[in-house]
Structure 1
Amino acid sequence: MVEANFYLPNECWESIFAFLNHSDEDEHNHCCLKSLSLVSKHFLSITNAVQFSLNIYNPTRPFLYLLFKRFTNLTHLDFTCFRGDLDALLSQISCFRLNLTSLKISNQYAIPANGLRAFSRKITTLTSLTCSNLVSFDSTDLNLIAECFPLLEELDLSYPLNFINSYSYLLGVETLSTSLIKLRKINLTSHAYLNDQLLFQLFKNCKLLEEAVLLYCCQITNAGIASALRKRPSLRSLSLSNNKYAKHITLDFSDSLVSLRSLSCFDLLSLHISDELLSSIATIFLSLPLRRLVLQNCTGYSYYGIYCLLYNCRSIQHLDLQNATFMNDQCVAQLSLFLGDLRSVNLSKCSMLTHLALFVLARSCPSISEIKMEYTSIGKNIVENSNSSMDFVVNPRLKSLYLAHNSRLRSESLIMFASMFPNLQMLDLSYCYNISEESIYQVLKRCCKIRHLNLTGCNAVNYME
């Protein structure tokens, strides 16, 4: 009788299924929805309603009509794996009534100009466009994007291989920056033509810009970056890297950060920085809501510099100190006192770190969900430190653990780590030569939620790959 009277409206089921699907950390993995759709026709219809993205492959094309009829709430299409006439396919898709907001056209030879024009005439709701890893990028592509999608808020044109008509990029950037008045995020990684003048123009014209990724843009200078930043105080996220004219980050650059009063994500890759610079930035970040800090492969700074910075910025949730060769277990223990909100950390290639650093992170960072400690000394001296090994705590929040290329890691240590992190979903043990088949069985027994296990190069368990 109770079962007969139990009823939930579809809206409630949709909220439940959307929550379950959103909790899946792999945005392209819809296993949860697939499983639920098998329960009943009712659940099938509901899962269809909460399917918002679709990856298009070559075999998909004949079934587009059925797929679009089935998934009526699609907002995102991904053509990354499609190999064929993309112009014709986009023209075909434009005939369907779709409220798409996001389009991904990556790993293609070039931007399908005719297809995008046909697409944009019928589908005018697009706010996000990704065209990364193109073999050929033409300056006229910037004009095309500005013409077809004036409502864009997010644009990713990263990692093009070749540039055509480079003399016309000045006009292209000007058209793009003046036309996309709603642009909030842009990724121009590896755009070799981008110089100080174009960067200034971009930041000046895009008044709503919040996130800029400018990695490997070989013609911009420290002075050019500083000048552009002063024009865009609303910036929340900034990513920079080593290039021909900006191998060092100077104190003059840090002065320009004062204007960025909302900066929450700051990424520096392969740059030479100093303790003096980090100390200077620390005083600036006292009043900023910094949540993400990346100093990946940076040189020139020491423990003192990062200590000053983290002492003043205690709300860091994502920290990347890859290749900070001065880092040892004691450094991690001291810095962890300032990292109570930490969610993810990358300490790969910090070769002096051992299992003791892992224990400290598990104990001092209760909310941490991802740890990367590849190419470290995990496993070294673990017998000598057996007493400290007994002090480990269980951290049920950790979901991802990357321990690749730790040649000293032994089976007994691995089993202990599995006991520490019972809710692991991702475990990378690639090229950890000294772990046994039995230890993998023990790990899977203790961590029953593991979905991704990388054993590449683990000779003793090769047949399990």
Structure 2
Amino acid sequence: MEGVDGTDGGDVATTADEASSTDSPASSVTTTPHMFDSMCVGSLAHPAMLPPEILFAIFSYLSAVDDIKTAMLVCKAWSRCAVELLWYRPNLHSIMSFVRFNQTVSTTADALYYPYGRFIKRLNLNSISKQADNGFMHTLARACGEIERLTLSNCQDISDDGVIPLVTANPKLLAVDVSHLTKITDRTVLAIAKACPNLQGFNLTGCASVTDDVVVTLAQSCRHLRRIKLFDCALVTDRALDAIADNCPNVMEVDLHGCKQITNAAVTKACLQLHSLREFRLALNPAISDDAFLYFRDDALFESFRILDLTGCNQLTDASVQRIVAFAPRLRNLVLAKCTRITDRGVLHITKLGKTLHYLHLGHCSLITDSGIAALVRGCTRIRYIDLACCTQLTNAAVEDLATLPKLRRIGLVKCVNITDEAIHALAQRRAGALFALERVHLSYCTNLSLMAILSLINAYPRLTHLSLTGVPAFLRPDLTQFCRPAPPEFNQHQQAVFCVFSGQGVVRLRQQLNRVTAEHRHMVLGQQLHDRQALPHNDFEFLDDEDEDEVEELNVAMDDQLGRPGMFLSNAPQHMLPEIVRGALAEVFDRPRPAPLPAHLAAPAGPEIRLMNPAQETVNHHIVRPSIDANREMDLDEPGDDTLTAPAFDGLTPPGNVAG
């Protein structure tokens, strides 16, 4: 069987036994192969003579599996402690590891040096969910008896007949996860309630056949229960929640997402009786209204409350928000997505949470305006995640306020159709004073965004790992979508056509591609300008005024940046040498193969002017020919640095031949 790294535990143990037959002081200790014996402590000066509990604690600090395996080869005393540590949580990460694991635990105990199955305390079969079946469960039931945490999520071939023997053989279970096991029925829950009185966590997500009766029995039998998830258990009603409130006073987490038969009365009772409750999820329950929160006692205070999810409870109003904030002043995560009656007044109540609020989801709360966001930013300065998807009244002003949040890491602005490049530049500029860099940005269906604005954003945040731009026309191009992750298979044809989400290395490659194409565009523009200037007659350089000399210096600085080395400033050179210097610069920088023009179907007319640097630092160049400016698309790439040239806009679509000189 594989240990943590896939090494056969039995072979290593046998090798350790052979190693212990040497003249080591520990070789004189008499032991039995299947249990820890009392050690004869003749001299504790040698590490091998330490009690097993101390050795196990010491070995637990070894992070490398190879180090633990090496410890097994020292002597029998070390081997027994190290093998238990290796088998404490088997790493079943592949089919091969599953096969070897199955072979080992299927072997009778008499044929093994160690009872490996008895060392397993945590078992997670999620990675081999397609291979696990009822037969494998029976094998585990015979081999394992000390499991404390069991995860069987997504093992679709496992039913009651497989789970019941395993949980019955492991009465020390503290946590069981049978989420998305669609074949699980009330029989499994009853078996766990009977066999595992010390159960603390139970995840029944997606077990649609589970009913009220067994949840009541579970609550009455497992009074140490601390976490229970009944996500999408549509048959669960108030009886189940009342039983949990009456029998499990230490419950910290209750998930009733999609349990549409839960009513206001049961919610109120749970909040008042479960004093340790930290996380309460009631999402997608249209029956929940203001009455669930308006009738708390005046002296009620839920200081342990940290997470409250009310997604889709669209009967809630600002009055509920006011009561929730008053009675749970230490809320850290508040989810009010699709609570469509929430207004700016509700946001003002949220601001009373102050620095404790880290996560806020207000998606589809379309009544919220820039004023509410401005108040929120002033009151809750430690927000790390905020989602304002489909808040269609928000404008650039709201994003500019959000950009001042020093700890902001994730922001969602999906379908905020009024957002333009100005808002994106505000986010890009915040990095100077931000304690944390943006990691995830959602801008899907913000159709007014351009390539250069997004480039400024991804250049400002090198740690950005997720960028969603689905439905943004500027990015629906083959040369960019090649870096996207695949669209989910359940999407229809249109959704797949506009899908544009960059994750992980996709963001890195997008950044490289945009920077490369932008640099090539700038090279061509500068080359054309230098070419025009070298064509001037020799005597024309005698009439350069101060502004012209500044312009020449700008060209040279830009050239210096592209070359990556100190260069010769044209303004310091003798005038009769200027043409020769220009020719040398052109030969050094631009004498290389030009990129091929884009295909005709990707080409577009030259775009508006874009200032490639901060306009406050830019030296105005009156001698460069510019195309007409479209005020709706003019933007600044806020990148601090030296002054540089003003160039025609690059939208990534203009073929090289269309650049204006």
With structure 2 as the length reference, what TM-score do the two structures score?
A: 0.54
> Residue 382 of structure 1 aligns with which residue?
421
Q: 1:404 to 1:75 in 2, by over 3 A?
A: farther
Aligned length: 413
Structure number with bigger Rg: 2
CA contact under 8 A between 2:464 and 2:507: conserved in structure 1? no
CA RMSD of aligned residues (A): 4.2
Name the SS of the counterpart of 1:319 in structure 2: strand
> Residue 61 of structure 1 aligns with which residue?
98
> Residue 431 of structure 2 aligns with which residue?
393
Provide, for residues 45-80 of structure 1, a one-character-per-residue CA deviation record: whole Å limited to 9, x for no partner. 79x9699574566665312158998xx887341336
Q: 2:316 aligns with which of 273, 276, 294?
A: 273
> Residue 77 of structure 2 aligns with which residue?
none
Q: CA deviation at 1:236?
A: 1.5
Matched residue type, 2:139:
Q
Q: CA deviation at 1:205?
A: 0.7
Hey, what's the Cα distance between the residues in 1 that align with 2:354 and 2:188?
41
> Residue 238 of structure 2 aligns with which residue?
196
Q: 1:56 to 1:227 in 2, by over 3 A?
A: same
Provide, for residues 277-323 of structure 1, a one-character-per-residue CA deviation record: whole Å limited to 9, x for no partner. 222333223xx321111101112120111212222443111111111
Matched residue type, 1:234:
S
> Residue 339 of structure 1 aligns with which residue?
380
Q: 1:102 to 1:398 in 2, by over 3 A?
A: farther
With structure 1 as the length reference, what TM-score do the two structures score?
A: 0.74
Q: 2:189 aligns with which of 119, 142, 145?
A: 142
> Residue 297 of structure 1 aligns with which residue?
338
Query: What is the aligned-residue identity percentage?
Result: 18
Hey, what's the Cα distance between the residues in 2 that align with 1:344 and 1:269?
16
Q: 1:12 to 1:422 in 2, by over 3 A?
A: farther
Q: 1:349 to 1:12 in 2, by over 3 A?
A: farther
Provide, for residues 414-457 of structure 1, a one-character-per-residue CA deviation record: whole Å limited to 9, x for no partner. 111113322123333344331267779999xxxxx94465999x
Hey, what's the Cα distance between the residues in 2 that align with 1:152 and 1:330?
48
Hey, what's the Cα distance between the residues in 2 that align with 1:57 and 1:137?
25
Q: 1:351 aligns with which of 372, 392, 413?
A: 392
Range with bigger deviation, 304-313 or 393-402: 393-402
Equivalences for 1:14-413 in 2 at 5 Å? 52=89, 54-55=91-92, 60-64=97-101, 75-79=122-126, 82-84=129-131, 86-96=133-143, 100-109=147-156, 112-161=159-208, 163=209, 169-170=212-213, 172-243=214-285, 246-250=287-291, 253=294, 255=296, 258=300, 260-271=302-313, 272-285=315-328, 288-353=329-394, 357-366=398-407, 368-377=408-417, 380-382=419-421, 391-394=429-432, 395=434, 396-413=436-453
> Residue 21 of structure 1 aligns with which residue?
none
Matched residue type, 2:219:
S
Structure 1: gaps spanning 5 or more residues: 1-9, 18-35, 444-448
Hey, what's the Cα distance between the residues in 2 that align with 1:63 and 1:143?
33
Provide, for residues 226-250 of structure 1, a one-character-per-residue CA deviation record: whole Å limited to 9, x for no partner. 1333332221111113436x14232
1:417 equivalent in alignment to 2:457: yes
Q: CA deviation at 1:99?
A: 5.7
Provide, for residues 24-48 of structure 1, a one-character-per-residue CA deviation record: whole Å limited to 9, x for no partner. xxxxxxxxxxxx88xxx559979x9
Hey, what's the Cα distance between the residues in 1 that align with 2:359 and 2:221?
34
Hey, what's the Cα distance between the residues in 2 that align with 1:197 and 1:218?
13
Q: 1:49 to 1:409 in 2, by over 3 A?
A: farther
Matched residue type, 2:218:
L
Structure 2: gaps spanning 5 or more residues: 1-55, 72-84, 106-115, 485-502, 511-600, 603-651, 653-661
Give the number of the structure whose residues are more often strand, by fraction.
1
Hey, what's the Cα distance between the residues in 1 that align with 2:438 and 2:68?
31
CA contact under 8 A between 1:429 and 1:453: conserved in structure 2? no
1:434 equivalent in alignment to 2:474: yes
CA contact under 8 A between 1:14 and 1:50: conserved in structure 2? no
